[in-house]
Structures are given as structure tokens and as C-alpha cells.
Structure 1
């Protein structure tokens, strides 16, 4: 019964992927099949049926290649637009900092100008660590987070010299897990009435294991299911240690630690 249900679901999904032209090509096989049935002793009818079948297969293959090409083009366009938004957002941030720096220099407030330069240097060092994390998908997600989320600020702290691609884990699994745990908090962060929702994400490796620390301060929706959803994101490759439960007030403070024991 289970196999039958699986087969039916697979057939249904395959049918949904067939376009009208593909369906018309498949239905056209009825004609040569009928000819073979009527003139079953004729070699010509059989030859026509075989050639027609190959032609239908070629048409379906061309349709599938076109759909795949269009899908890839949509993904590429989405990626390009995301990169443009990220660069535009970073350019806006840098322009704001430069304008503040210029203002302090005009007013001859050198101590304030030094603070701005230190802040710019810290941000540049932060972005450099993120870009060198070793997993392009994860680096892109972290660098562009400010452009896709307006309900929560993400503060990332990465240990010096940490390269996730050098750890004995699948880069795809690590990327999916880290992006997943951030999104669990992101999709529950509600617009605060006062203050700001902030998620601190710290990544470090020591004593044979990768450790991720989540420090969240802000308002959460459905916070009682956060731990369960985080464990789903880990998919058995990490272990979640919860901190103290948040106090019952409008602003919630929560700390969670995720350990990824590295295989010997």
C-alpha cells in the first residue's frame, strides 16, 4: 500500500511538470499506436510508431532542457538582484559613516573622528571575517542579512582564523544548519514596541568541537517551540544546550549554545 501511494504521488508530480506541448506530444502517440493495432502485420506501421516515439522523446527532452534553463536564469537573476541590494545597502552605510567623519573633521573634533574611524575599521574587520568563513552560501547570507530582515539585527562574531570549510563536516550541512537556526529566530522576531530585537551569533572552534552561541534579546512569537525547531535544523549533526528561560516580560532574553562535536 505504501509503495502504491508513493507511486501515485510520483506520477502526480510528474504529470504536473508536463507542459501543454508535452502533453500534446504524448497524446499524439495514440495515432501511431492505433495504426499498429489496426495494421499489426504491417512493418511500416511499426516503423512509424518507433520513429514517432523517438520524436516525442526528443520533444519532451527539449521542453525539459528549456524549463531547466529558464529556472537557472531566474536563480541567476535573483542572485544578481540580491547582490545589488547588498552592495547598495553597504554603500549607504559607508556614506553615512563618511559624512559623520567629515562633519567631525570640519568641526575639528578629532576625538570623535577617531571613534568613527575605529568603528569603520571594526566593521571592515567583521566583514572580512565573514567573507573568509569558507562557505560562500553562508557568507552571502550573513553579509546580506540586513537587506532582507527589518525586524531583527544580526551581530556576528567569528573567531579569528575560523574556516568552516576546513572542518570535517559537509559544508552544505553546516551552512544549512546555521542559516536554519538564524531563520528560526528571525521568523519569530516581532516588531518591537520599544528598543530593538538583536540576535548575537558567535562561532568558534576549540577542544575538538565547533560551538555556536545564540544570544537573543527582544520580542518573540511562539517562543515555546523555538528549541524544537532549532533541533530540527541541526538534523543530528549538532546538540542544543538551552540557557535559562526568559523572564515573563515584554523583552525576552535568551541564550542557547549549539555544539558540533568534530569526529576524531
Structure 2
């Protein structure tokens, strides 16, 4: 693993140690090859350390740049959405359709309240994923409903592991959602805490590829740490609707 992370110059510095080592072997009766070997080794590891720190800084810079670009895309997408909504409101006001304008304003307020709850969910990685979902997925819409007062970072479980699990569950549906021939694919994700577990309800309406194996993929994401209930059978809803209820037990 160490060699995989090392740069070519670092490997060259490490391999250069064979020269003083060979000198020690050849002139083993002399004292100077040993001194050269010690000094050479110190210099080689100093070079390796400098190169590794430089590589680490470059990786951090790339991650920071990726984060900045992702934030810019998210803000740009949200600005575009708000401009569209404001244009609709302006159009209704111009037509003196106040009731329609109020409906749009209520819709905007609902979305702003949802974004506010998402930003306070307690796990930055998960909050960023959910808030930026509209910018990375064009095959379905994600609506998130979070129980009032629920902060995932305060639950008695590993926050990062919980974040990866929820993101994985959403991605199972995301990667199987196909471009709809009519209407819109919608996944409603509901998070709530019940006695002894975290309840995740996934209500999906739309088209899915290989829908018969969705539950198997969700179970892989859970890795045996939760239970999936099918909820309502698809036959009781429309052919394109299904509900999956996931219970993640919380340590006492």
C-alpha cells in the first residue's frame, strides 16, 4: 500500500539506497561506507517525506476544488429554480390570479423549509448529498421529509456509516430510474425515529430498470444491519408505484 501511494521520484529515492548498501557490502571493513549509508538514508527519507507532503497537498487542493465546483453548481441550480418560480409568480400576478400566485409561494416556502431541515440534519456529508441531488440526477426528483427535531448525529450509531447507508439506499433507486416516457419519477424519502430504530420510508413512483432485484440491492446496502418491509404491494397501487420501509435498529 505504501508503494502504491509513493510518487516515482519517491521510489527513485528509495531505490537509490541500493548504492550505499552495496558500498557497505563491498567495503565492509571500512568505516566510511556505513557513514555514507546513514547520511544517504536520511536524505532519501527526507526527500520521500517532502514528496509525500506535496502529493497530499495536491490531493487536498483537488478535493477542495471539487467541493467548490459542486457548491457552485448547486447554488446555480437553486438560483435557476428560484428564478423559474419567481417568473411563474410574476406571470400569475400580471394576470391577477392571486390564488395561483399564493400556491406557488406556498410551494417555494415548503421547499425552503425542506432545505433548512436538510441543512440541520447533523451529518454534513449526507446533507450535502441531499441538497445537491437535483444537480447530479436528471432521471428522478428526490423529496425528503425529516421528522421534526431529528438530528442524525445525535443518534446512538456511527454517523459516517449511517450516512453511507442512506446515500447507498437512495443511489440504488437513482441508478435504476430510467428517463420517464411521461410524467416524472419521484422518490420520497421519509426519516423518522421510532422506539428502538430509525425508520426510513422510500416511496417511489416512476419507471425502474430491473425492478425485481431492487430489494436485493437495498439489502446489500444494509449489510444485514436492518430490515426491509415491502409496505404496500405494487398491485395495490399503480404499476409504477412501490413503497419500501426500512428499519435500522439503534443501540440502546
TM-score bucket (shorter structure) = over 0.9
Question: Of the candidates 47, 62, 74, which is equivalent to residue 59 of structure 1?
Answer: 47
Q: Is residue 32–residue 45 contact of structure 1 (8 Å, CA) maintained in 2?
A: yes
Q: Tell me what 2:73 maps to.
A: 85
Q: Tell me what 2:196 maps to.
A: 208
- Give the Å deviation of 1:197: 1.4
- Give the Å deviation of 1:66: 1.3
Q: Tell me what 2:221 maps to.
A: 233
Question: Of the candidates 90, 101, 107, which is equivalent to residue 102 of structure 1?
Answer: 90
- How many residues get paired? 250
RMSD: 1.7
- For residues 135-177 of structure 1, give each alpha carbon's deviation from its aligned partner in whole angstroms, at most 9, with x where no partner exists: 1111111110000001111111111111111111111111111
Scaled by the length of structure 1, the TM-score of the pair is: 0.89
- For residues 2-27 of structure 1, give each alpha carbon's deviation from its aligned partner in whole angstroms, at most 9, with x where no partner exists: xxxxxxxxxxx443333221222122
Question: Of the candidates 29, 36, 42, which is equivalent to residue 30 of structure 2?
Answer: 42
- Give the Å deviation of 1:228: 2.0
List runs of 5+ in structure 2 lacking aligned partners.
none
Scaled by the length of structure 2, the TM-score of the pair is: 0.93
- Give the Å deviation of 1:243: 3.4
List runs of 5+ in structure 1 lacking aligned partners.
1-12
Asked whether 1:142 is paired with 2:130, we answer yes
Taking the aligned partners of 1:195 and 1:111, their CA distance within structure 2 comes to 25
Query: Residue 108 of structure 1 aligns to a residue in which SS?
Result: coil
Q: Tell me what 1:219 maps to.
A: 207
- For residues 210-259 of structure 1, give each alpha carbon's deviation from its aligned partner in whole angstroms, at most 9, with x where no partner exists: 10001112222222332222122123332222235545xx9532211111
Taking the aligned partners of 1:61 and 1:190, their CA distance within structure 2 comes to 48
